[in-house]
A and B are shown apart, each in its own frame.
Chain A
Amino acid sequence: MDATTLKMLAMGIAIGLGVFGPGIGLGLAVKAMIEATARQPEAEGKMSKYFWAGAGLIEACAIYALFIALFISSMK
């Protein structure tokens, strides 16, 4: 197994395992958002503000994994 093969393997594992958690996290966030909106449609403005902020934070965790995958590809 030379360096290039290991690098490709590492990139695949990094991004594959890395988006596992944030995917579940975003699903839970959207679930809570839909349930809360169904319960109280008039509070949707405040809830959507919290939702988008939360989604941005959760997405950042997936982006950390992508960043590491791209960083591995640029190493020697």
Chain B
Amino acid sequence: MEVSAGHHWVVTFWGVSCNMDTLITMWIVMAILLIVSFLATRNLSIIPNKFQAFLENLMSFFWGMTSSMGESGKKHTPLLASLFLFILTANLIGQIPWRIYHLPDGELASPTNDINMTLAMALVVLFYYIIAGVIKKGPKYFLHYFKPMPVLAPLNMMEDIIRPFSLSVRLFANILAGEVLIMVMLGLGTQMVAKLPFLGALLPLPFMFFEIFVAVIQALVFTLLSSAYLSLATDDGH
């Protein structure tokens, strides 16, 4: 069985080519998040029902992440909460059996197995923390390249390039590698137990459990790193 993960169905809209399968699953993830938030905020009350209490607990986790940025840190909560919830849902969506539905080309899987998606999110984080630093400290923000010593300035500038690159490749490669692993295990399983392919198809099951775990960890690492970069940029972080 030929293993080719990450092959996308490319559609061209007026000269711009898009990976249609990534767009479809991305919109599905957004629809899920919007429906959940709509249902949670419908009848807000002081004494919350279980669903609202669960989401309030989740929100307090994001408020805790911004506590290291001082008083004005609370306004950065929407970015961090959106990043975490979107990446978590996007990573988990890939474990649902989408292959029942056939696209003309390529397969439906996590939107985060496409480096375009993760690079876009990483660039959003990059521009956000630069602009937040400039808003907080004025143009003197750009002097931070010359701390602690002016001779380290090229290194600090390189860091601004390496950060979004490493954020995006970490997330994308983790998810893609997980999908390739599951496909290889599936091919191996169905070949090994050729008389009963049903049993062989259970071989990827432990790897799918591991992928659920990796999905949560990668969402957490992306969000924690973004909040760390943000707190470094808006303050002389500790």
Q: Does A12 contact B (CB under 8 A)?
A: no
In angstroms, Cα B40 to Cα A35, docked, is 42
Residue B30 is within 8 A (CB to CB) of chain A in the complex? no
Chain B nearest Cβ from A6, distance in angstroms: 20
Q: Which residues of A contact B225 (CB under 8 A)?
A: 57
Residue interface mask A22-64, B partner, CB < 8 A = 1: 0000000000000000000000000000001101110110011
Does B89 count as interface, using CB distance less than 8 angstroms?
no
Across the interface, do A53 and B177 meet the contact criterion of CB distance under 8 Å?
A: no
Q: Which residues of B contact A63 (CB under 8 A)?
A: 170, 173-174, 177
User: Provided the pairs A63-B170, A64-B169, A67-B169 are in contact, do residues A56 and B177 lie with their beta carbons within 8 angstroms?
Assistant: no
Segment at the interface with A among B18-26, B70-78, B154-162, B213-221: B213-221
- B180 CB contacts on chain A under 8 angstroms: 70
Summed over the interface, the residue pairs from A and B with CB atoms below 8 Å come to a total of 38
Rounded to whole angstroms, the CA-CA distance of A55 and B214 in the bound complex is 11
Kindly state the separation between the CA atoms of A66 and B174 in the bound complex, as whole angstroms: 9
B41 at the interface (CB under 8 A from A): no
How distant is B229 from chain A, measured CB to nearest CB, in Å? 13
B80 within 8 A of A: no
With A70-B176, A70-B177 known to touch, is A52 a contact of B169 (CB < 8 Å)? no
Considering residues A55, A63, A67, which has the most beta carbons from chain B within 10 angstroms of its beta carbon? Answer: A63
Interface size on B, residues (CB 8 A): 14
Whether the pair B221, A66 counts as a contact (CB closer than 8 A) is no
- In the bound assembly, the distance between CA atoms of A52 and B173 in angstroms comes to 18
B173 touches A53 (CB 8 A): no
Decide if B177 touches A57 in the complex (CB within 8 Å).
no
CB distance B174 to A60 under 8 Å?
Answer: yes
Give every chain B residue within 8 A of A55 (Cβ-Cβ).
217
| Chain A residues closer than 8 Å to B174, beta-carbon distance | 59-60, 63
Q: Is the CB of A67 within 8 A of B220?
A: no
Query: B-side interface residues toward A, CB under 8 Å?
Result: 166, 169-170, 173-174, 176-177, 180, 217-218, 220-221, 224-225
Can you list 29 A-B pairs, Cβ within 8 angstroms, ordered by A? A52-B220, A53-B220, A53-B221, A53-B224, A55-B217, A56-B217, A56-B220, A56-B221, A57-B170, A57-B221, A59-B174, A60-B166, A60-B170, A60-B174, A60-B221, A63-B173, A63-B174, A63-B177, A64-B169, A64-B170, A64-B173, A66-B173, A66-B177, A67-B169, A67-B173, A67-B176, A67-B177, A70-B177, A70-B180
